[in-house]
Amino acid sequence: MVMIRIVAGAGTGPTPVAAFDTALTDVGAERFNLVRLSSVIPTAATLTEAEDLSDLGAIGDRLHVVQASVTVEAGMHGCAGLRWTRTVEGSGLFYEEVSTGADAESVVSSRLDDGIEHGLALRSWSPATGGSKLSTVTAEDDAYGCAVVLAAYGQANDRW
């Protein structure tokens, strides 16, 4: 059975990549090589919201994640969000969205609803449980900002 940990964080930096790195540091994922996954939740997985991922492996290990991240320029606002739903049997979906601007949170929430509904319909699945997590950022006048939400699958590993 795989444990999926869901975390959200934000950060700023002098470049877009530096802002992303800071957001990863905020959730303890800066030490890993992230491997992006599509959005299917295995039937036997356990989901939990967590504060930090730093205890999942060694520096340089691969960590499999579903990722929503948005980077904004100085003075701008952004939101990244992740929604999940599971069937009675336990399988499920993640859906990730991002937006920028003053209404970013409401745009992301609406898109997450629409995306989950669409994904369930494609698979002819009925939802039983679910949740969501958002992260927001407003970049400082002289910096970039990044908001990130990650769903980390299992432990990091060094198998290349």
List of E strands, 74-115? 77-86, 92-100
**H-run or E-run covering 10:** strand 3-13
pLDDT at 23: 98
pTM: 0.95
How many Å apart are CA 87 and CA 126, to the nearest integer? 6
Average pLDDT by stretches of 10, the chain with 160 residues: 95 98 98 95 95 94 97 97 95 97 98 96 94 96 96 86
Q: Count of alpha carbons within 13 Å of 154, Cβ hemisphere only?
A: 15
Give residue 1's pLDDT: 79
Q: Looking at residue 160, what is its pLDDT?
A: 59
Report CA 84 to chain centroid distance, whole Å.
11
Domains and CATH numbers, the chain: 3-157 (3.50.20.10)
